[in-house]
Amino acid sequence: MTWRIALQLALSGLSVGSIYAIVALSLAIPFKASRVLNFAQGELVTLGAYIALVLSSYGLPYPLLVPATLVIAAGFGV
């Protein structure tokens, strides 16, 4: 295994792990505050992933893809 492959695997693992951590925190913090489990959380995460997939299929560059996805997903969340 070359160092480039090892670096790519490490960065990929960190990015996926960060996404898992953000989703877990977004479930845990409201539950600790109100003792109510938000079942819509999974829908909103999936909606954000689909929005990013659709925008990337139109060729939107990554630096514009992330803010656009956040704005659109926030609009659906509100």
Nearest residue to 77 via CA among 49, 43, 34: 43
* pLDDT above 90: residue 64: yes
- Whole-angstrom Cα Rg for the chain: 16
pLDDT in tens, 11-42: 999 999 998 998 889 889 999 999 988 888 88
pLDDT at 17: 95
Could you tell me the pTM of the whole model?
A: 0.64
Mark out the alpha helices in 35-61 (DSSP H runs): 41-57
Q: In the numeric block, which tokens belong to residue 43?
A: 């829908």
pLDDT at 69 over 90: yes
Mean pLDDT, all residues of the chain: 91
